[in-house]
Amino acid sequence: MGLPNVFCMNGGSDEFSYAQNSTLQSIIVSQTRAIREDAATEFYSTFFPESMMIAELGCSSGPNSLFSALGIKEAVEHKCIQLRRSPPEFHLLLNDLPSNDFNTIFRSLPCFNKQQMLSTEKPVKCRGELFVSGVPGSFYGRLLPSRSLHFVHSSSSLHWLSQVPPELLDGQYLNKGKIYISKMSPAIVAEAYLMQFQRDFSLFLKSRGKEIVTGGHMVLTFMGRSRGSDPSSLEYSYPWELLGDALTQMASEGIVEEGKIDGFNAPYFSPSVEEVKQEIEGEGSFSIRTLDLFEAHWDEVRGSKPCNIYDYKSMAGDGAGISHAKQMAKGVRAVVETMMRSHFGEGIMDELFLRYTELLEDYYSRNKAQVTNIVIALTKI
Ligand SMILES: C[S@@+](CC[C@H](N)C(=O)[O-])C[C@H]1O[C@@H](n2cnc3c(N)ncnc32)[C@H](O)[C@@H]1O
């Protein structure tokens, strides 16, 4: 089954929503701020567009959906003040799969606009108008007209594949007892995942290559690995390995069918820096400005809250008194619950994530509470 049918973040703004549990992703967005804003201001001061078309791909629904675009807008407005120019208009295109909770973002816009008015001391003439539209669809394919975009941003989204590699579903279960690449998986499993990533990422680049104007920029951040690293290394695979372990425990107690685990593989892949570089160079639409690896650590949580555009009593990310393991488990639940529920059934979710939290507590007692990311800044040739 293709990803669009079973995949969406938990919508709304309740305890298990993505909006309330996307703190780690907000740390990642904050860590890449300078790269994004440098690229945007460089584009603006080279081409001076009257209207700047920005796309946020895999926007989801939560405080991060608008955060990057807001930073880009402010950075460009600041540049305009330095250059004594009127600011451009900004058109923000929010993309995600059609199943995404776009309504929650759109409902938050009046509050967001009001916050912007209050938080800036810039005179009105130094502020560009912001127009927001939704673009539902898969970013593994065309979303927008040719040469219509100036700046594309995507964070914490491109590690999601368009589908589980079909080679894993070929009549027999190749990754028995595991739900992602593991030390126990036969070599063909990692090969199948890499091939699916290569097909998807080159299609992504080809599609954006048509949509972005020459000289336009794209900044992408997603889970990744260091050069030459083993994808089954726990350092990269622990979120899935431990979720698989929680399911295995439950299978051993008869709560989950073993065959259900054999038949589930995560539509996810964290590529290495050279695997990413090879695809960009092979596809040929973009030149590389930046290609870096960085760690997002749970310790960064406090103070990294991006922007409270939702009317929450307590916003995601405060994390007061909550262990890193609990926060991570809630974050992962907000992302994978819909998909896990459709495969394993709704009844096991609370138990599954309780056990997952315990396994994460143990893992973080011996290892750093962090995830590795790749950030790439590209220019359309
Ligand atoms: C973990 S969320 C990240 C959301 C947001 N960018 C952030 O940083 O918090 C990943 C998002 O990517 C979206 N996504 C995954 N595959 C996609 C695809 N093929 N096309 C568009 N969106 C996709 C998911 O629906 C989800 O909303």
Residue 144: CATH number of its domain: 3.40.50.150
Regarding the beta carbon of 162 and ligand 1, being less than 6 Å apart is answered: yes
pLDDT of residue 312: 38
Distance 60 CA to ligand 1 centre (A): 5
Distance CA 340, CA 266 (A): 9
Regarding the beta carbon of 155 and ligand 1, being less than 6 Å apart is answered: yes
Q: At which residue do the structure tokens 């368009």 appear?
A: 162
Distance 154 CA to ligand 1 centre (A): 8
Number of domains, the chain: 1
3-class DSSP state for residue 172?
Answer: coil
pLDDT of residue 316: 42
Q: Are 270 and 223 in contact (CB under 8 A)?
A: yes
Task: Name the residue of 6, 157, 161, 163 whose CB sits within 8 Å of the most ligand 1 atoms, as the mutation to test its pocket.
Answer: 157
Residue predicted with more confidence, 168 or 119: 168
Distance 271 CA to ligand 1 centre (A): 17
pLDDT of residue 298: 84
Q: Tell me the pLDDT band of 299, cut-offs 50, 70 and 90.
A: confident
56: nearest Cα among 78, 77, 73, 80: 73
Q: Whole-prediction pTM value?
A: 0.94
For residues 282-291, average pLDDT: 98
Q: Tell me the pLDDT band of 1, cut-offs 50, 70 and 90.
A: very low
pLDDT of residue 2: 55
Q: Tell me the pLDDT band of 5, cut-offs 50, 70 and 90.
A: low
Q: Give CA torsion, residues 145, 151, 155, 157, to 10 deg.
A: 10
Amino acid, single-letter form, for residue 337: E
pLDDT of residue 117: 72
Cα–Cα distances (Å) from 323 to 24, 182, 219, 345, 369, in that order, read 13, 26, 31, 27, 10
**pLDDT over 90 (residue 198):** yes
Report which DSSP code applies to 88. P
Q: Tell me the pLDDT band of 78, cut-offs 50, 70 and 90.
A: very high
pLDDT of residue 98: 95
% pLDDT > 90, the chain: 81
Give the angle subtended at the CA of 171 by the CAs of 183 and 240, to the nearest 5°. Answer: 30
Q: At which residue do the structure tokens 């011996």 appear?
A: 366
75: nearest Cα among 32, 36, 130, 131: 36
pLDDT of residue 301: 59
Mean pLDDT of the chain: 91
Q: At which residue do the structure tokens 């069918």 appear?
A: 257
Q: Which domain holds residue 254?
A: 3-380
pLDDT of residue 4: 52
> Which of 114-128, 259-273, 321-335 is predicted with the least confidence, judged by mean pLDDT?
114-128
Nearest CA residue ID for atom 1, ligand 1: 156
Q: At which residue do the structure tokens 């892949």 appear?
A: 269
For residues 130-158, average pLDDT: 97
Q: Tell me the pLDDT band of 306, cut-offs 50, 70 and 90.
A: very low
